[in-house]
Structures are given as structure tokens and as C-alpha cells.
Amino acid sequence: MENDALLKEVRAKAEKWLKGNYDEATKTEVKRMMESPDSSELIESFYRDLEFGTGGLRGIMGVGTNRMNIYTVGAATQGLSNYLNACFSDLQQISVVIGHDCRNNSRKFAEISASIFSANGIKVYLFEDLRPTPEVSFAIRHFGCQSGIILTASHNPKEYNGYKAYWNDGAQMVAPHDENVIMEVNKITDVTSIKFEGNPELIEIIGEEVDALYIEKVKALSLSPESIQRHKDMKIVFTPIHGTAVKIVPRALRECGFTNIIDVPEQYVVSGDFPTVYSPNPEEPAALDMAIQRAKATDAELVMATDPDSDRMGIAIKNDEGEWILVNGNQTALIFIYYLIRRWKETGKLKGREYVVKTIVTTEIIKEIAEKNGVECFDCFTGFKWIAAVIRENESIKDYIGGGEESYGFLPETFVRDKDAVSSCTLMAEIAAWAKDNGMTLYQLLKQIYLEYGYGKEKGISVVRKGKSGAEEIAQIMTDFRNNPPKELAGSAIRIIKDYKTLKQKNVATGEITDLDMPATSNVLQYFTEDGTKISVRPSGTEPKIKFYIEVRGEMKTTDDYEKADAAANVKIEAARASLKV
């Protein structure tokens, strides 16, 4: 009966699209789904409205209320326009920046959004072609805009597209604006209330002039220009994985002084079909395969890859045997934080008011590096909008050094307020040159960091559950963990439980419950064991997944102990995984 009721509800929603003010191609597709003997596609397309969440929209492209199309994008843009006009009614001219990535329909969605904003009296700075997410954030700040959007689904598979919304500081929105925009978007229930007919006079095309300003800012971040000069011919393989960094990262590297940038020709082809990879995600080992093969063929020293919208960066380096290995997001963040703090210290920039930021699921070693060097470390929720919020709160009070998250995102500056793979690529190349100056490879530098601050290893596990039934299963998994928490993990007793949904921390041994000081609630559970293991569990906010983050600790007395510590950590991780039954 439940399925019959759902199908009846879905058909009623689809009928509105057949009779409403929608284009003929859309109506033809709706009719095809309604006439199909298999109703699963119709249900998945209409069983809910694609939610405009606190990060915007993300979903599979297609026809229906639960899909990315010109009408769901249009409703989002109309709702945002209404909110901007209400918030900034005192301004003579409200303005926004619009960017897009390489995905299919991204340009189309960007142009439609530009028309809707302009129809609502809002000036639009529209990038001429695809651009990285961080450059859109930069442009919002540069032009003094009140908001901005980028059409991107980041590293999701090719079927997806998305819509990320930003506020006037160039960061994704937080309270109260995120919830207020959601309310405005939810009010758009009739397609006729979307103003599709734009005002071309309010749309300005931007491009090279912004690129040049952005790259100048990136160049100014260098802490070891002399190291770059000495190793400027270091061989660096870079791949944009068909995305927006195709021109800007090689250009930035060259303008910073590196002269030997080696491309991966097949992946320099801009394409929303991502023809050379199953998933355009630098977190996935397979996504770097072609770049590593290119590095082997050219005897390169560093491999770097960016995702389609160029906010995440993955790297591969050589170990002591000359074999190429992948560096995970936690290790990348460790290298960045270690280098930045050390060079700030060596160049006299540390004055006692500096800080770094990490997300709660990112390695605890970052906190140890910071604290041992007199640098404050802030913990925040997953998502770079929370790192940006910490930057905003401390502006003119404290000095930001850098911030990152385990999912391959890092920000080494404040002229952007989202993770930035462009500046991260130039910084990582600089670190490789600096390490050479100090007689080390990046692999040896990583081992040195572990020796100085303690060894740790992390593993992320994603359990994918798609569709309506998957969402229900993920919700039940979180309920089960919340109601029946584990007593031990990998043989070590649970010491602390943190529930960020209730903002309560429980000391298991004493039963003491204390408050967690966070700016909002989040559906995340964390378990800390007596041996230093940390487990985090959270549903993804952008993908049909529930994520488990495992971090274990170990010992190293010399850098030669690295492989032994790594092997012991793998055993402990698998034991923790077995305890979690994932």
C-alpha cells in the first residue's frame, strides 16, 4: 500500500509538469516516464523535491522535481534573488558572480541563472568560460558582490551537477543566511514565479583580468622563492582530470617559477563525460593512474591532480625505493600545516596570534603540530564553509596560517574563502622544492613529520546507499549507533563519545556529560578510545553515502620505523572496521 500511495503522489506531481508552463522537451520526457511499465525512474525523478540545502543543490541531471534541470536551478536562483533583494534593499546595485565547471549543462545553467538574477535587477559578473571554484570565491570578494554561485557537482560522477551559493565574504553561507535562503527557495512552488527573461544590460562577462589578479595573489604566498629558483626545473606532472584547472594551474606554477610542467594530454581534454576515469575524484586511486604512468615515463618527481572544479587536490610521490605512492588527504594537510608553521617561524612571521583550522574528522596530529609551536588550532564541522566562518570570526584579531580537511581540501590564504586547489598546487610544488633544499624528498619529509609529532594513519570508508530506500537505511544506521554505541573498538575501550547532533560529550568511565562548543548542530558521532583511536560517523551532505573515518595512532623512534608503524596501523584499522561491521 505504501508503494501505491507513493506512486499516486508521484504521478500527481508529474501531471503538474505535463500541464504546467514547462518546455515541450521536458513534457515529452515526463510523458515517456509515466508511460513506462517500470515506474522506478518516475519515482526517483519525482518522489521528492531536490533539496536546496545549506550548501546549495546537487543531484542527477534530468527531468523532475528531484533532478538538476533548468527549473530546479531556476527556482534556486529566484529564491536567492528574492533573499538578496530583501537583505540589501538599501544598496543602489546588488551584484553577484557566476562561474561554472566543465560538466554537461553547466554553461547552460550558468547562463539561465544570469538571466534570472538580471531579471530581478541584480548585476551579474559572468565568467566567459569554465573557472575554478576558488576563483569564483575570489571574484566575489574582488568585485564587492553580495553573493555568487558556481554550477558544479565537484568530484561526483558525470550524471551529476550542482549549484553552490556564496555570501558576500566569498564563503558558502552559514546561519542565518543559509536557512533563510532555503526558506525563500522553498516558496518557489510555481514555475511561473521564476523570472527567466533577463536584462542583458546587467550581465557583464569577465575573464582574463580576474585570472591575472588571482594568480598575482597566489604568487605572493610563496615562503621559499629561493628554493623554487634553485629547483625550478623539477619535473611536475599535473592533471586537471578534464576540469577547470586545465589552464590556470599550469599558468600559476609557471608564474611562480616552475619551468618543467608535464601534462597528461588525454586528461587536458575538457569534458563533462570524464572519458578517461570512472570518477573524476583525486581521492580515488584510479583517477591518478594516467598521471602516474606519465610520471614514470618522464622520471618526474611529483604528481598533482585536481577535481573538476579545482577545489580539491590529490598528489602522488616516490617512496625511498622509487615507487609511486598516493598521499591521502590527511597526510597532505599535515605536510601543508607543518611547512607553513615551520616557515612562518623561520621567517619571523609568528607573533603569537596565529591559528590553523581543521575539521573534526581530520587527523589530530595537526592539532599537535600547532600546539607544540604555540599556534592555536580550531576544530570545526566538515565543510569549508565552517573553516571560512572561523576565518571571518577572527578577522583583524588573529592571523590565519592555513586550514584543511581530510577530503583533499586545503586553503593557505584568505583572499579565497573556500578550499583552493590552485594555490595548494603551487604551495605543494614549493614544498617539494624546499624539501630538496633540505636534502629530503616529500616522502622523507612526511616521515620526519611523523617522527617529530607522532605517527598516525587514517582510513575513510564510504557505504553507498542510493535513492529513497538508501536514504532511509542511512538514517537508521545513525539511529542505531546513537542508541546503541559500541563499548570498544579494535580491543580498546571507548573513553569519550561526542554527539554533535545534541552537542553533548560523554565520558564513558565517569558518566559525566558536558556541552560541545560548536556554532550549530550536525549529524555526526565520534568515539575516542583509550589507545588514541578516533572514529567518526556521518552521513554525507552531498552524496548518497554514510561515511566512517578511522584514525589510529602508533609509535616511531626513527624514520626507519615508518613501514613497521604503517603495517601495525593497517592491522588496527582492519580491527576497528570489523568492530564497526563496515
Catalytic residue positions? 154
- Distance, CA of 441 to CA of 437 (rounded, Å): 9
- Distance, CA of 505 to CA of 514 (rounded, Å): 5
The CA distances from residue 79 to 55, 93, 424, in Å, are 14, 18, 34
> Cβ atoms within 10 A of the Cβ of 230, count?
15
The residue among 246, 213, 52, 93 whose CA lies nearest residue 141 is 213
The number of residues in the chain equals 582
User: Taking a C-beta distance cutoff of 8 angstroms, is the pair 277, 298 a contact?
Assistant: no
3-state helix, strand, coil in the chain (%, to 5): 45, 20, 35
Q: In what order do the strands lie in the sheet with 123-127?
A: 57-60, 160-166, 147-151, 95-100, 123-127, 203-206
The CA distances from residue 370 to 129, 331, 380, 388, 457, in Å, are 40, 15, 15, 19, 18
The CA distances from residue 383 to 127, 178, 284, 308, 362, in Å, are 25, 14, 19, 18, 11
- Distance, CA of 332 to CA of 119 (rounded, Å): 44
Cα three-residue angle 478-481-485, rounded to 5 degrees: 160
Residue 142 exposure: Cα atoms within 13 Å on the Cβ side: 21
List beta partners, residue 127: 206
Burial class, 315, CB count within 10 angstroms (exposed 0-12 / middle 13-18 / buried 19+): buried
The CA distances from residue 392 to 89, 148, 378, in Å, are 24, 17, 13
Question: In Å, how far from its chain's centre is CA 355?
Answer: 21
